[in-house]
Amino acid sequence: MLTNVGFAFSQGRITLKNASFEENESSPGVTPNGWLNVGALQTSPPDIQPGQFEVSLAAQHGDRYVGLVTRDNNTWEGVGQVLNGSIKKGSSYGFSVWLSRSNVYMSLTPSGKMVNFNGPTILRIWGYNTRTKRDELLAESAPVGHSKWVKYNFVFKPTLDDYDEIDLMAYYAPGSELKPGNLLIDNCSDIEQTADESDTGRGMIETPSDEIQFANPSFERAGRYASTTGWFVWQDELEASPSIEPGHSIKEGEKSAAEGRFFAVLLTDEGKSHSISQNIFPALKKDTTYAVSISLSRMKKFKFLHSGVGYKYHFSSTTQVLTKRTYASKKREAFDDASQQLCIWGVNHQDSQAELLAQSPLIDHTEWKTYTFHLKPQSFDCQQIYFSIQNNQDKNSKGHLLIDDCSLIRKLTGI
């Protein structure tokens, strides 16, 4: 009797190799030791995190974890492992894993655009029989939209075959098909046979409260123009392009940043305004109040440099195309005849409408000051935020505003 119990126990528990992804150094495009790369052919393997693509979340267990992405060309990453044993048709198994999503995962799309792979994903767990080549989707998680580690518990029961390999795959969360996303995985449990056959297939989670993080919130990512640095840019028929300073129109040492070294400059001219925007995740919810802080300043004199090469942008909610234009010669043009205010807009992607969520006062100071804004969408959820500038008393004025150091967007409760 005792022997039988012991036998059943050893049959019923499978320990994964390198289950916490500790055996490799942090590195882009590395298949973890003991695992297989089961992503699409001719695409890069997963990443050992943190430290790659601006992912900074500390490991849930040990020092490292694996990062998987979903791409805009219908491919996604995954890791698989041939098991030391197999999971049996008709038996139930318990398995847990810690999952998260990084708010920032800056990388190139297959077509070469630098974007933030921060969309939500789900984890799909597949069983695979290396002999019969049969596979089966054993379980999938709820959407992983949070940026903290959450333990997901799964119970699964193979129905078609026995499986001696399991594959952990990132896949688009419902409604986020073809969105660049990421899934962080750490600390896989043993796979353990269980008598519990309830709730087969779907992970159970507690959703933590969340904060929304801008990519490149302080404009420190190197790049001459904002568009290559995690922000979308719209120049509204202005001849000039929004710039990152110092280094373009402002000389090094002429104006220090509020935080770090660099800041962004928006211009306005006769009611046309530059704007910079980002898709955010999770979306701002209608009738919910959020707070964000942003540092603002201006220059007494500001002359934009139209240099020998400029860029013109075509813009949509998710993509941006730059075309180069060449100026005959360098010229400087003043954009400093009136103070400007920052406008913060929320955009709903389904109906492409924007709602003005908050405005600063007119910024007439040349030192940096931090303003805290309350954002409460009244009309719809907002998947995108953009900043523009104006002077509401002098709409035709020609001016500029310096922006730096955007905080996390925090949900406020009780308001």
Interface positions with Ca ion (CB under 5 A) = 20-21, 59, 61-62, 65, 186, 218-219, 257, 259-260, 262, 404
Q: Which is nearer to Ca ion, 266 or 382 (CB)?
A: 266
Q: Which is nearer to Ca ion, 64 or 179 (CB)?
A: 64
Smallest separation, CB 259 to Ca ion (Å): 5
Q: Which is nearer to Ca ion, 59 or 68 (CB)?
A: 59
Smallest separation, CB 147 to Ca ion (Å): 17
Cα–Cα distance between 411 and 349 in angstroms, integer? 21
Q: Which is nearer to Ca ion, 20 or 129 (CB)?
A: 20
Residue 88's Cβ-count burial label (10 Å; 0-12, 13-18, 19+) is middle
Q: Which is nearer to Ca ion, 188 or 267 (CB)?
A: 188
Smallest separation, CB 131 to Ca ion (Å): 31
Q: What are phi and psi of 2, to 5 degrees?
A: -60, -40
Q: Cα–chain-centroid distance for residue 327?
A: 35
Q: Which is nearer to Ca ion, 149 or 234 (CB)?
A: 149
Smallest separation, CB 70 to Ca ion (Å): 22
Q: Which is nearer to Ca ion, 29 or 260 (CB)?
A: 260
Q: What are phi and psi of 9, to 5 degrees?
A: -65, -50
Cα–Cα distance between 26 and 46 in angstroms, integer? 11
Cα–Cα distance between 272 and 220 in angstroms, integer? 26
Q: Which one, of 262, 274, 263, lies nearest residue 311 by Cα?
A: 274
CA angle 45, 147, 29 (to 5 degrees): 10
Give the contacts of 147 (CB within 8 A, at least 6 positions apart). 57, 100, 101, 102, 103, 210, 211, 213
Q: Which is nearer to Ca ion, 208 or 260 (CB)?
A: 260
Smallest separation, CB 342 to Ca ion (Å): 16
Helices (H), 268-324: none
Cα–Cα distance between 367 and 45 in angstroms, integer? 47
Q: Are 234 and 386 in contact (CB under 8 A)?
A: yes
Cα–Cα distance between 8 and 365 in angstroms, integer? 74
Smallest separation, CB 383 to Ca ion (Å): 25
Q: Which is nearer to Ca ion, 126 or 219 (CB)?
A: 219
> What are the tokens at 32?
């973890």
Return the amino acid letter for 373. F
Cα–Cα distance between 312 and 318 in angstroms, integer? 17
Q: Which one, of 270, 212, 305, 274, lies nearest residue 403 by Cα?
A: 274
Question: What count of residues does the chain have?
Answer: 415
Q: Which is nearer to Ca ion, 261 or 349 (CB)?
A: 261
Which residues is 400 bridged to in the sheet? 267
Cα–Cα distance between 349 and 360 in angstroms, integer? 25
